[in-house]
Structure formats: C-alpha cells, structure tokens
Amino acid sequence: MFDDFILRALAAGVGVALVAAVLGCFVVWRRMAYFGDSLSHSALLGIALGMASGLSYSLGIFLVCALFATALTWLQHQRILATDTLLGILAHASLSFGVVLISLLDESGFNLHSYLFGDILTVGRADILWIYGGGVIVLAMLGWHWTSLTLMTISEDLARAEGVNTFFANLVLMALMTLVVSVSIRIVGILLVTSMLIIPAATARQWARSPEGMAAGAAVIGIVAVIAGIYGSLWFDTPSGPSIVSAAALLFFVTLMVAFTRKR
C-alpha cells in the first residue's frame, strides 16, 4: 500500500499535468512560452501579498497573475514598447517586489525553496480541491472556445472574418494560463511551471496528426512524466519538481530521437 502523501502527490500531479498539457498546446502553437515564464515569475509577488493580507497563497497568486495579464494586455494596446520588453519589465519587477516584500515580512516558517522549485509531496486535500476545481474550469473553457482559439491560432485575420472576437479570445487564453499557473506552483514551482505547459505539448507535436490528437498526446505524456518524476524523486531522494520536469525532458529527447531516426 502507498502512503497517503504519495497518493495525494499523484492525484495533484495528474490533475496539473492533464490541464497544463492541453493548454500548453496553445502556448506552443502561439509561441507564448515567454509569456508563461513571465507570468510564473509574477506569482512570487502573489505569495507575498497572500502572506501580508492573510489570504491563501493560491488566491494571492491568481489575483496577481490576473493583474499581470491585464496590465500586459493594456500596455500592448498602448503600443508603448515591444511585447518582449514589456514582459521582461513586468516579470522582473514583480519578482523583485515579491522578494523584497517577503524579506520585509520576515516569515520564519516560510520555505521559499519549495515555491521556487515545487514540493508536490507536501500537498494537502485543500490543494487537490483547488487543482481539480481550477482544472475543470480550464478544460470546460477550452472545450467551449476550442474552435475559435484554434482558428485564431491558424490566422487571426481568418478568425475575424469568421466572426471571432480575437481580443476576447486572447483574454480567455491569458486568463486560463493565469489559472493554470496559480494551481501548478505547488507542484513544480515558480521557476519550472512553464515547462509543464511546453514540454509535453512539444513532445506530442512530433507525431500528432491533428490539434485534438496533440492535446490528448500531451496529456498522456504529462501524466507519465509526473508519475515517473514522483517515483524517481522517492527512489533517488531528489527534489520532486525538478524530477518531474527532468522526466518530461527525457521523454521529449527520446521521442525526438525516435522521430529523427524514422525520418532518416
């Protein structure tokens, strides 16, 4: 029999992998990896504000990430600076403000390392409810807007011609990424959360023949990476978050070599 903490870790990891992998397909298609990375950096400010206000860390992360995405969208439409420059400014500013605020609060029991790199073995029932509640919302919204998001990914001009509100669709995509980042922090950490969006989707892309097939394949690969990473972490006594990402990366390179050999 497995210990309760292992079962909770598996349940949490599978939930995050399923949602992050499917959403990650749009991140890969639309080349939004830098946005996802910047969004995760802002999560540290959300943790700090949660500590200062007494709110839960997950809620603080979600609110700050939502504010980050809204600010980015508004600044993009002002055409003040290039998007990558805005992302760099907002990401590093929020990360720095978060570190400064945490140091001022002087919380002796706060473990910054677990939020930077994740600690899936310590998740509780409340974390699992938060993960699956947010996951249901994300998958439902993706299913509802799948056609418009896919069409917009192919061509925004074509999507507009078909009557798609591309501004609203972009907002939906950013909001879903915000929710996924906020529920994934405890699993793989601030510095690695974007990898769970990108690596499974990039792995599945090498052999998928349709958008739906890529989403399904990415979900399977993400789940396998979580299970392998957790057991590898227990077996080799390594950090859980980096172990999960390492397992996903190994799957990517193995699949890449197989695809390269088949082409040869």
pLDDT for 3-29, tens place per residue?
788 899 999 999 999 999 999 999 999
**Residue 140 pLDDT grade (very low, low, confident, very high; cuts 50, 70, 90):** very high
Residue type, 73: T
Q: Which CATH number characterizes residue 52's domain?
A: 1.10.3470.10
pTM above 0.85, yes or no: yes
Is the per-residue pLDDT at 1 higher than 60?
no
The pLDDT value recorded for residue 109 is: 67
The pLDDT value recorded for residue 190 is: 87
If one counts the domains in the chain, the total is 1
User: What is the arithmetic mean of pLDDT over 226-238?
Assistant: 92
Say if 235 falls within a structural domain.
Answer: yes
Say if 90 falls within a structural domain.
Answer: yes
The pLDDT value recorded for residue 223 is: 95
The pLDDT value recorded for residue 107 is: 67
Say if 112 falls within a structural domain.
Answer: no
pLDDT for 198-223, tens place per residue?
999 999 998 888 999 999 999 999 99
Mean pLDDT of the residues in the chain = 88
Say if 12 falls within a structural domain.
Answer: yes
Domain limits for position 67: 4-104+117-263
Say if 215 falls within a structural domain.
Answer: yes
